[in-house]
Each structure stands twice: as C-alpha cells, then as structure tokens.
Amino acid sequence: MIMKAVEITSYGAPEVLRLGERPDPVPAAGELLIRVAASGINRPDVFQRTGNYPVPPGASDIPGLEVAGEVVGGDAKELAKAGLKLGDRVCALVAGGGYAELCTAPIAQCLPYPKGLSDVEAASLPETFFTVWSNVFDRGRLQKGETLLIQGGSSGIGVTAIQLAKAMGATVIVTAGSDDKCAACLKLGADHAINYKTQDFKDEVKRLTDGKGVDVILDMVGGSYVAREVECLAEDGRIVIIAVQGGTKSEFNAGLVLRKRLTITGSTLRPRPVAFKAAIAQACLKHAWPLIENGSIKPVIHSTWKAVDPSEPTGSGAAKAHALMESNQHIGKIVLTWETK
Ligand SMILES: NC(=O)c1ccc[n+]([C@@H]2O[C@H](COP(=O)([O-])OP(=O)(O)OC[C@H]3O[C@@H](n4cnc5c(N)ncnc54)[C@H](OP(=O)(O)O)[C@@H]3O)[C@@H](O)[C@H]2O)c1
C-alpha cells in the first residue's frame, strides 16, 4: 500500500519539502503503527532539510520527530503489554518519519494523550517535553527553589521549559528576541524576560539575582554565549547545551569553571537508544502529564498547516510552516495536520 508523505527532495529552501508517495511503513518488533492526525514541527527538521542534521542510522529520511494519532497496527500481545489496543490514540517521539500519513514508533516511546487534549495539542508534546525533561531535570538537575535561565524562551522548547520549571517550583528567567516574545514568556509564567537584542543577558541576570547568578542555563545558542553564561552562573551552576545556533566555537574563562565548580554539559535526543527514551517517556507520564491534565501546563500552539494542500505548489503546507519557523515570528509550536479530531 502507498501513503502520502512530505519528503525532502533535496537539501535547501523550504520549497524542497514536497508531498510525495511512499510505501506504507511496517512496524518492527516492539513498534506500533500510527495513522497520523498531526505532526509536530521542530527546528531540528529545518536543520535536516538544509542538510545540517544527518538522519541517524536506521531512521526514516522523511522528516518529523513527533506525531499523534490512532494506533492502527502492531503485535496485539505487545500492544496489550503496554496497555494499548488498536484504535487508541497516542502521541509518540520518533527518530524520523513523522511528516507522513502513517508512522511507526517504538511502543515504549508512545504515550496516551493527556486527558482533554486534541490531536494537534498532543502532537506538540513529545519532542519538547522529552528534551526538556532529559536536559533540564536529568542532566541539569534543576531543583525546587533554584533559578533557571532559558535562552530562547518563546521557542517550542522554551514554552515547555518555562511551564515545567515553574510547576516544579523554580524561578525562571528567559531571553527572547523581541518585547512581544518577552511579554508572551511572562504570560506563560516566566518571572523575568530579557530582550537579548536590547539588553546584555549576563548583566541582567546578575542584576535580577543580586549578583548570585542562576543555577541552571538551558542553552540553544552556544558560540559566544557560553563565555557570558559561565560568568552569570551561580556556584555549582550547570549549563546544558542543546543546540549551537550561534556557532560551535567558544572562548571562556576556564578559571571560573573551577572557582565556581561549574558543569558544562549537553545532549542531543534523537540518536539515543529506545531504552533511554522509554525512561524519559515514563518520567514525563508520571511528572508532566498530570500537570497538563490539571491545566497547570498548557500546550502553546502558534499555528497549524495542512500536510496535504492542493493549493500549494509543493502540494503541502509544510514549506510555509518551515518558512515561518525560519522567520522566527512564532511563539510556541507549529503543527502539520492530516485528518484531525
Ligand atoms: N539537543 C536536543 O536534543 C534538541 C531537541 C530538540 C530541539 N533542540 C534545539 O532546541 C532549539 C529550539 O528548538 P525548537 O524546535 O523549539 O525551535 P524554535 O521554536 O524554532 O526556536 C528557536 C529559538 O532560538 C532562539 N534563538 C536564536 N538565536 C538566539 C539568541 N542569540 N539568543 C536567544 N535565543 C535565540 C529563537 O528566539 P528569538 O526568535 O527570540 O531570537 C527561537 O525562539 C533548536 O535549536 C533545536 O535544534 C535540541
């Protein structure tokens, strides 16, 4: 059987994303098959499209790292063991293949929708919640009462990090590139927002923390930011680098690392093994899903785009969705829709 999928036809501008046809994927042992209702769009998809984020071995070359929809295939016994059956709706973190009508996913990386969420909202969760949990709470060891600085507070990652960290009892400072974005972050619960285009975040952090500095920094910029981050970390502070949008090279005062006993770490989720992601899935289910269900944390959907759109020259709204993400005009998540409920 043949399904529709949004393919990267060559590396380049958003228009290289085109609606095409692919054979239906077949779930392997330990996987299930999802009829995709909605596919979350993430910045790593943009990097993949431009040829800057290679597909991990064994993963689909179709972009898309998160989906939500109906379980339509998989071994009945394996599904039952996970408390699932055909017809259930799940959201899943996948290593690729999300921009398609059908997508396979490791069962251990699938979670039920938090009660009350739509397909679009559910599709917006896995990539940012798994990434934030793994990096802010596991690697960064953010504790109740500590202060977190989030670089890029209005990003998909940022809006999740703000809400999760606040719900866990941390003080949150964010940076963003406009006053409107700063206002949106404050509305989501951030305690302070710094417009990094008009203010120096290092000076502002020092002012806001009475010179003490922050305990954890979630950094998606890298480059020259690291030097200033080392300066505005508190004693025993941790920097967790999840992207290097500002470049890979940094020159910083190593003396501060030892004097303040700092940790500089980082990670990338996509190539990690299923067992690692399964553990994060369970942590999200236990700690984050109840917060979504009781309304403490809300998905922030900026816009949705039709995966199949005959009015578009590419046959899909995906190109416009990527162009929007690259324009940095969005606040929160951008989602591609198939047949949603
Ligand atoms: N390591 C991992 O496992 C992992 C997983 C998922 C995502 N990521 C990374 O996390 C980042 C966010 O992903 P996303 O999907 O949420 O993307 P997104 O919504 O497109 O966000 C990108 C953000 O980067 C911010 N930014 C760019 N330059 C900045 C600077 N100099 N200072 C502060 N902020 C800056 C932008 O903020 P302004 O518009 O305000 O400038 C924008 O909000 C991406 O870089 C992505 O590659 C890493």
User: pLDDT tens digits for 227-245?
Assistant: 999 999 999 999 999 999 9
pTM of the model as a whole: 0.97
Pocket test for ligand 1, best of 46, 155, 226 (most atoms within 8 A of CB): 155
Alpha helices in 38-153 (DSSP H): 43-49, 76-81, 119-123, 126-132
Fold of 2-125+270-337: Quinone Oxidoreductase; Chain A, domain 1 (3.90.180)
Ligand 1 pocket, residue 18 CB under 6 Å: no
Q: Report yes or no: 240 and 267 within 8 Å, Cβ to Cβ.
A: yes
Residue nearest to atom 16 of ligand 1 (CA): 156
Residue nearest to atom 20 of ligand 1 (CA): 43
pLDDT at position 176: 98
Q: Is the pLDDT of residue 341 over 90?
A: no
pLDDT in tens, 28-56: 999 999 999 999 999 999 999 999 999 99
Count of alpha carbons within 13 angstroms of residue 297, beta-carbon side? 29
- Average pLDDT score over residue span 164-173: 98
Domains 2-125+270-337 and 129-266 share a fold: no
- φ/ψ of residue 190, rounded to 5: -60, 145
Atom of ligand 1 nearest to the CA of 154: 43
**Is the sign of the CA dihedral 324, 329, 335, 337 positive or negative?**
negative
Ligand 1 pocket, residue 328 CB under 6 Å: yes
- Average pLDDT score over residue span 185-196: 98
pLDDT at position 261: 98
Residues present in the chain in total: 341
Tokens of 231: 């300066």
Ligand 1 pocket, residue 177 CB under 6 Å: yes
Distance between CA atoms of 269 and 157, rounded to whole angstroms?
Answer: 13
pLDDT in tens, 273-300: 999 999 999 999 999 999 999 999 999 9
CB atoms under 10 Å from CB of 303, counted, come to 15
Ligand 1 pocket, residue 245 CB under 6 Å: yes
Per-chain mean pLDDT for the chain: 97
Q: Report yes or no: 96 and 61 within 8 Å, Cβ to Cβ.
A: yes
Q: CA nearest 336: which of 328, 324, 326, 327?
A: 324
pLDDT at position 74: 98
pLDDT bucket at 339, cuts 50 / 70 / 90: confident
Alpha carbon 224 to chain centroid, angstroms: 23
Q: Is the pLDDT of residue 340 over 80?
A: no
pLDDT in tens, 92-122: 999 999 999 999 999 999 999 999 999 999 9
Q: Where are the domains of the chain?
A: 2-125+270-337, 129-266
**Is the sign of the CA dihedral 16, 52, 223, 172 positive or negative?**
positive
Which run of H or E residues covers position 179? Answer: helix 179-187
- Average pLDDT score over residue span 253-262: 98
Atom of ligand 1 nearest to the CA of 127: 6
Q: Report yes or no: 139 and 267 within 8 Å, Cβ to Cβ.
A: yes
Ligand 1 pocket, residue 153 CB under 6 Å: no
CA of 171 to the centre of ligand 1 (A): 20
Q: CATH code for 129-266?
A: 3.40.50.720
- Average pLDDT score over residue span 121-147: 98
